[in-house]
Chain A
Amino acid sequence: MKNFLTVIRRAQVFLNLTCIIVCLITLIPFILTIFLSFKDNPQFFHYRWSLTFPLHLENYVIALKSIYRYLLNTVYIALSSTLILVLVILPPAYIFSLYEFPGKRICFNIFILLMMIPGILSLVPSFLLMKYFGLINTRWALFFPYVTGGIPMSILILRTYFSSISKELYESARVDGASDLYILGKIYIPISKSVVSLIVIMRLLAIWNDFLWPLVVLQEDSLRTVAVGLYYFQAQFAVFQRWGPMFAGYLLASLPLILLFIFANKLFIEGVMSGAIKM
Chain B
Amino acid sequence: MSKVRKNLILIYLALLPSIGFVLTFGYFPPLHGIYLSFTGATTYASKMEFRGFNNYIRLLKDPVFHRALKNLLCIESFRTIMYTIIPLIVAYFIYSIKNYRLKGTYRLIILVQMVAPSIVILLLWKFIYDPYLGPLNDLLKILGLGRMQRIWLGDPKIAIYSIMFVGFPFVTGFGTMFYLAGLENIPLEVIEAAIVDGASKTKILLNVQLPLILGQLKVVLFLSIINGIQSYQDILILTGGGPGYSTMVPGLYMYRNAFQYEELAYSASISVFLFLIILILSYVNLKYVKSEQT
A contact residues around B110 at 8 Å (CB): 22-23, 26
Per-residue interface assignment for chain B, residues 63 to 103, with 1 indicating a CB less than 8 Å from any chain A CB and 0 otherwise: 00000000000000000000000000010011011110010
Per-residue interface assignment for chain B, residues 168 to 205, with 1 indicating a CB less than 8 Å from any chain A CB and 0 otherwise: 11010000011001001100000000000000000000
| B274 contacts chain A at the CB level, 8 A cutoff | yes
Do A121 and B117 touch across chains, with their CB atoms under 8 A apart? no
Do A125 and B32 contact each other (CB < 8 Å), given the known contacts A92-B14, A118-B226, A257-B116?
yes
Interface residues of B toward A: which range?
A: 35 or more
Instruction: State which of A19, A49, A148 has its C-beta within 8 Å of the C-beta of B21.
Output: A148
Do B128 and A22 touch across chains, with their CB atoms under 8 A apart? no
| A80 contacts chain B at the CB level, 8 A cutoff | no
B contact residues around A127 at 8 Å (CB): 258
Do B26 and A148 touch across chains, with their CB atoms under 8 A apart? yes
Q: How far is the CA of A227 from the CA of B21 in the complex (A)?
A: 25
Of residues A127, A208, A211, A275, which shows the largest number of chain B Cβ atoms within 10 Å of its Cβ?
A: A211
A contact residues around B109 at 8 Å (CB): 23, 26-27
| B55 contacts chain A at the CB level, 8 A cutoff | no
| A116 contacts chain B at the CB level, 8 A cutoff | yes
Q: How far is the CA of A49 from the CA of B138 in the complex (A)?
A: 9
Please report the total number of A residues contacting B with Cβ < 8 Å: 76
Instruction: State which of B97, B171, B267 has its C-beta within 8 Å of the C-beta of A12.
Output: B97
Per-residue interface assignment for chain B, residues 17 to 29, with 1 indicating a CB less than 8 Å from any chain A CB and 0 otherwise: 1110111111111
Q: How far is the CA of A29 from the CA of B167 in the complex (A)?
A: 11
Interface segment, one of B119-127, B148-156, B157-165, B239-247: B119-127
Q: How far is the CA of A259 from the CA of B22 in the complex (A)?
A: 32
Per-residue interface assignment for chain A, residues 182 to 206, with 1 indicating a CB less than 8 Å from any chain B CB and 0 otherwise: 0000000000000000000000010
Q: How far is the CA of A126 from the CA of B26 in the complex (A)?
A: 9
| A230 contacts chain B at the CB level, 8 A cutoff | yes
Within 8 A of B (CB), among A204-263: 205, 208-209, 211-212, 216, 226-227, 230-231, 234, 243, 250, 253-254, 257-258, 260-261
Q: How far is the CA of A148 from the CA of B274 in the complex (A)?
A: 22
Do B230 and A118 touch across chains, with their CB atoms under 8 A apart? yes
Do A110 and B19 touch across chains, with their CB atoms under 8 A apart? yes
Instruction: List the B residue with the shortest CB-CB distance to A273.
Output: B181
Do B115 and A261 touch across chains, with their CB atoms under 8 A apart? yes
Instruction: State which of A22, A124, A243 has its C-beta within 8 Å of the C-beta of B169.
Output: A22
Do B282 and A116 touch across chains, with their CB atoms under 8 A apart? yes
Instruction: State which of A19, A88, A227 has its C-beta within 8 Å of the C-beta of B117.
Output: A227
| A1 contacts chain B at the CB level, 8 A cutoff | no
12 CB-based A-B contacts, threshold 8 Å: A23-B105, A23-B110, A30-B113, A101-B11, A107-B19, A118-B230, A124-B33, A125-B29, A212-B236, A212-B255, A250-B120, A275-B181
